[in-house]
Amino acid sequence: MNSITSTLAHLRHRFNHAFERGDVVAKVHWDNETPNLVLTLAGRVDERFFHEARRRLPRAMRHTTVSLTLRLEHFDEHQLQAITGLLKRLQRYGEQLRIHLNEPVRNQFAVDTTRVRLILDPFVCTP
C-alpha cells in the first residue's frame, strides 16, 4: 500500500490544480483485503498528467496487489491519444485493472481490453 500511497501523493502534489477543480478524483476503497485505487477523469487533464500516470501507476501496481479502477467520465478528442497510451501501459496488469466507459467510446481506443475488467456503463463518458 505504501507504493500506491506515495504515487497518489505525488500525482496530487504535481497536479493539485486538476484535483482541486475536480478534473481528477482519486479515492482508495477496500475490496475485501485488497486496496482499490479509483481514479476518475472527469474533466480536462493535460498531457503532463498522463505522462506521469504512465510512469508512476504501473510501478505502483507492479509492487503491490492494489487494483486500479479507471473511470473515464469525460475527455476531449485531443486527450484520446494520451488516454490510449496510459491504457496500453496498464493493460499488462489485466487482473488488477478495471476500466469504466461506455460502448461507443470503447471503440475509439486501440487497446486490447480482453485482459482487463471492462465495465460498460452508459452513464460514463461524454466525449
Give the count of alpha carbons within 13 A of 69, CB side only: 19
Q: Is residue 126 part of a domain?
A: no
Q: Is residue 93 part of a domain?
A: yes
Q: Is residue 125 part of a domain?
A: no
pLDDT tens track for 73-118: 877 777 888 888 898 888 888 888 888 876 666 667 666 667 677 7
CATH number at residue 38: 3.30.750
Q: Which domain holds residue 109?
A: 2-120
pLDDT tens track for 21-59: 999 999 888 878 888 889 998 888 888 999 999 999 998
CB 117 within 8 A of CB 98: yes
The count of domains in the chain is: 1
What pLDDT, on the 0 to 100 scale, is given for residue 122? 62
- pLDDT tops 80 at residue 60: yes
Indicate whether this model's pTM tops 0.85: no
What pLDDT, on the 0 to 100 scale, is given for residue 127? 47
The lowest-confidence range among 3-7, 13-17, 118-122, 123-127 is 123-127
State the greatest distance between any 2 C-alpha atoms of the chain, in Å, as a whole number.
38
Spatial separation of the C-alpha atoms in residues 67 and 13, rounded to whole Å: 22
What pLDDT, on the 0 to 100 scale, is given for residue 104? 66
